[in-house]
Amino acid sequence: MSKRLQVVVRDDELQRYARTADVLGLSMSEWVRQSLRAAERQVSTGDVEAKLAIIREAASYEIGGREVDIDTMLAEIETGRLADIEAGMPSTDEA
């Protein structure tokens, strides 16, 4: 369901908003809707302490020594690519 929103602005503000919308190729209504959505995204609506508590809890989990060394991982990827080349299979870069 849509609702109409009426906002009172000064004439000079309205002219600036109209120019901005025109430059962007938008109607004034669409420019206002996009501006309101952008402004809404700038505001945190959640409890900051609750978010931080969740992040701290997640960071405290142990992964049981399953950390992977990046050099080992890259070497394993390269080994797999070389095996594909030797087997005559196209690499994912060629596909």
Q: What is the dihedral of CA 45, 49, 55, 56, to 10 degrees?
A: 180
Structure tokens at 56: 């701290």
95, HSE (Cβ side, Cα atoms, 13 Å): 7
Q: What is the pTM of this model?
A: 0.49
CB 17 within 8 A of CB 28: yes
Cα dihedral across residues 10, 16, 17, 19: positive or negative: positive
Q: What would the pLDDT profile of 48-83 be if each residue is shown by its tens digit?
A: 898 899 999 988 887 776 777 888 889 988 888 888
pLDDT score of 90 more than 70: no
Q: What would the pLDDT profile of 1-60 be if each residue is shown by its tens digit?
A: 899 999 999 999 999 999 999 999 999 999 999 999 999 988 877 888 988 999 999 888
Structure tokens at 58: 């997640």
What pLDDT is recorded for position 72? Answer: 86
